Structures are given as structure tokens and as C-alpha cells.
Amino acid sequence: MNQTTIRKAFRVSGHGLHTGRMVTVLLQPAPADSGILFRRTDRLTIVTQPATADRVGTTSRGTTLGTGRQAIATIEHLMSALHGMQIDNVLVELDGGEVPILDGSARPWLQQLQRVGVMHLDVPRKEMRVEKPLHFEFAETGSVYDVEPSEQFSVDCVIDFPGSVIGRQEAHLDGFAQYAQDIAICRTFVFLHEIEPLLHLNLIKGGSLDNALVFVNKELGARQQRRLERMFHKDSSTLRVHDGVLNTTDPYFPNEPARHKLLDFVGDIRMVGMPPIGHFTIYKPGHKANTAFAKYMIANCLHSETTK
């Protein structure tokens, strides 16, 4: 139960989901008690930021660490993979302002972490253990979080999109043994009617049918079909709607959206600053609510112990 880091450094390059810009990320081993650290190398002044909830800036369609010219967007999938691999210490350097979206899941990060391996350090791990039940509600989004004492990290997740092709779905995670197979591979998703407004907000410039599931609530008309061809740079013959999903590939699971929301939560809740230990029941989670809940946990889970 000692702290961990990665055995050797590695690089990953890809386009940011929202900016569309190419970014290279370098992950490096870090000594014990460093925590998970991020910094941008494309700035004249280099600022190292711990991945903690109090450092979160915006949460629009992702979790952004920091603000202004030092902001680093869309960190949640990388954070989820680091949490899933139970890595305590790592330095993440980027030559841009957004972590690449890659395939829209945590799988590419997990594969690289598995490839380089985990190194155990000679310092006991620090954990945030829940000693008494906690209840938290985030009225803005109708999100509800409950956590109870447990000997391991586990999550029951429920999402609910009334009147949509997604509807109510559930997903579960008991420890991290099945994280890679059941959660890490699940891709981000968006509703078709959200795409154009997001583009107008200067977001999802790097989104595509290769890194997101696009759900369609109604039948496509000829005009909308032509707009989609231009938007996704696809020929109409390659665009299809199957079971409410506009994609050239099918979902990996019937409840892939719920599993992806759980994936995001695994990343966001790691921003309490150390591995949290407890059984979490979460309803309608999202980045803004997850961050507020992480701050609530930091304020109310005063007992952080070093395992023996």
C-alpha cells in the first residue's frame, strides 16, 4: 500500500476536443508526496498546478485546471486513467492548453500507463477515508451524491435523460479490477441538437464521430443531413442513425453513456488530492457537480490517513 509513480516517461500527442489544436503531453515519474501535477511548457512563466478541486476553473463540457493563460482543459479522462491505475505521483507537461481527446475515452491513457508500468515508492500511501455517511445535493443540475464508509473505492452511478434516446441508465464499479474492461473504454457523448450551439461557443472543434457518440432524438431531414456532411466532413452514405446513435460504429455497451459518466467521476473525484475510499452513490453527475462534491468531501472528510 505504498505510494506509486510511473516507471518511465512517455509522450502522447493529439487534438484537443474543444480547441482542435494539436497538443503533446509528456508524463514523467514524480517523487513521493508530489501528487498529480500539471504544467504548461508553452508559456514564458512556467506554473506547476496540483490537480485539486480548489484549482478548477471552468467546467463547461469538461474539467479545466487553472484559469487564464495557465488553464489546462479537459483533464478528466487522463485523471480517470491515473486514478484507475492507482498512480499517486506524476508530472504532466503540455505544450498547449488542452489534454488531447484521443478516442474520447480513458483507454489510450490507460494503455500507455500499463505499457510503462507502475513503480512502488518507499513511502506509505495517503488516502481520504470516509468515516461517516455524507450526503450532498447540487441544486443547479439536480445532482445527488451519497458516500458511505467502505474498505475500497466503489461507485453506483445513475443518469437520467427523460424523453431522450438515452433515458435512465445505471453503471457500477467495485474497486479497480474491472475498470479497464468495463469503464475506461467508454466514450464521451453528445446530443446532435447540442453540437451547433457548442460550435458557436467556440467548443468541440476537435470533436468527430471517431471520438464521441452522437445521439439523435428525431429523424434527420435532408437539410440537416447536408449540414452534418459539412460538419463532420463525411459523405452522406457513411452517416447513419442506428438505435438513436449517429455513428459509423455502435456503442460498446447499451449503457455506455452511464459508464462514461462514471469514468468522468473517477477522474473528477481524484481531485480531492489523494485516493478517496468509500462507497459512492451518484445521481446525474457532471463536471460542475463533481467538482462541488469534491470540495465538499475535502471540507468534511477531515480524517485522511496514511495506510500502514
Q: What is the pLDDT of residue 307?
A: 47
What integer pLDDT is reported at residue 42 of this predicted model? 95
Cell numbers for 17: 476536443
Which residues, at least 6 apart from 159, have a Cβ–Cβ distance to it below 8 Å? 166, 168, 169, 257, 258, 261, 284, 285
Let me know whether 26 and 116 are in one domain: yes
Model pLDDT for residues 97-109, shown as the tens digit of each residue? 999 999 999 999 9
Using only C-alpha atoms, the chain has a radius of gyration, in whole angstroms, of 19
Residue 114, domain extent = 2-126
Of 104, 126, 148, the residue at which a domain comes to its end is: 126
The average pLDDT across 213-234 equals: 70
Whether residue 230 lies inside any domain: the answer is yes
* Beta-strand runs (E) in 134-284: 134-138, 143-148, 154-161, 167-174, 189-191, 213-215, 241-242, 245-246, 276-277, 279-283
**pLDDT the model gives residue 173:** 98
pLDDT recorded at residue 131 = 92
- If one compares 306 and 252, the residue with the highest pLDDT of the two is 252
Residues 120 and 14 in one domain: yes
122/205 same-domain check: no
Q: How far apart are CA 304 and CA 126, in angstroms?
A: 7
- Which stretches of the chain are DSSP H helices? 76-84, 107-116, 179-182, 192-200, 222-232, 256-269, 287-300
Residue 150: CB atoms within 10 Å = 15
If you average pLDDT over every residue of the chain, what do you get? Answer: 89
Asked if pLDDT for residue 175 goes beyond 50, the answer is yes
In a domain, 107, yes or no: yes
**pLDDT value, residue 238:** 67
Tracing cell 468527430 back to the chain, one arrives at 208
Q: State which of 126, 149, 177 marks the end of a domain.
A: 126
| Cα distance between residue 264 and residue 247, in whole Å | 22
Give the model's pLDDT for residue 194: 76
**Boundary residue ending a domain (126, 150, 168):** 126
Active-site residue, selected from the candidate residues 18, 83, 260, 287: 287
In this structure, is residue 211 part of a structural domain? yes
Residue 242: the pLDDT is 73
* pTM for the whole structure: 0.91
Q: Do the beta carbons of residue 150 and residue 40 sit within 8 Å? A: no
**Cell numbers 468495463: residue:** 182
Count of domains for the chain? 2
Is the per-residue pLDDT at 206 higher than 60?
A: no
Using CA atoms, how far apart are residues 86 and 188, in angstroms rounded to an integer?
Answer: 22
287 is catalytic: yes
Residue 26 lies in a domain: yes
Residue 234 confidence (pLDDT): 64
> Higher confidence at residue 148 or residue 202?
148
Q: Do residues 116 and 18 share a domain?
A: yes
Say what the pLDDT of residue 98 is: 95
Beta strands 126-129 and 241-242 are: unpaired
Please check whether residue 18 is in contact with residue 73, taking contact to mean a CB–CB distance below 8 angstroms: yes
**Residues 83 and 12 reside in one and the same domain:** yes
The yes-or-no verdict on residue 270 having pLDDT over 80 is yes
Helix/strand/coil for 92: strand
Give the tens place of pLDDT for each residue, 21-79.
899 999 999 999 999 999 999 999 999 999 999 999 999 889 999 999 999 999 999 99
Quick check: 9 pLDDT over 50?
yes
Q: All 3 cell numbers of residue 85?
A: 491505475
Give buried/exposed letters for 128-142 (b at 16+ CB in 10 A, else e): bbbeeebebbbeeee
The reply to whether 11 falls in a domain is yes
The reply to whether 27 and 122 lie within a common domain is: yes
pLDDT at 19 over 70: yes
152 versus 195: the higher-pLDDT residue is: 152
CB atoms under 10 Å from CB of 143, counted, come to 19
The predicted pLDDT at position 308 comes to 42
Is the pLDDT higher at 217 or at 220? Answer: 217
Q: Identify whether 285 is part of a domain.
A: no
Q: 63: buried, middle or exposed (CB in 10 Å: 19+, 13-18, 0-12)?
A: buried
Domain identity same for 15 and 102: yes
pLDDT tens track for 125-171: 999 999 999 999 999 999 999 999 999 999 999 999 987 889 999 99
CA nearest 246: which of 223, 218, 214? 214
Helix axes 76-84, 107-116, angle to 10 degrees: 40
Indicate whether 6 belongs to any domain: yes
Q: Where is average pLDDT lowest: 14-18, 65-69, 228-232, 245-249?
A: 228-232
46 shares a domain with 117:
yes
Q: Is residue 143 part of a domain?
A: no
**Residue in 94, 88, 89, 47 with CA at minimum distance from that of residue 75:** 94
* Helices and strands of the chain, counted as H and E runs: 7, 19
Same domain for 198 and 121, yes or no, is no
pLDDT higher than 50, residue 301: yes
Cα-based distances in Å from 146 to 149, 285, 288: 10, 12, 16
- CATH number for 10: 3.30.230.20
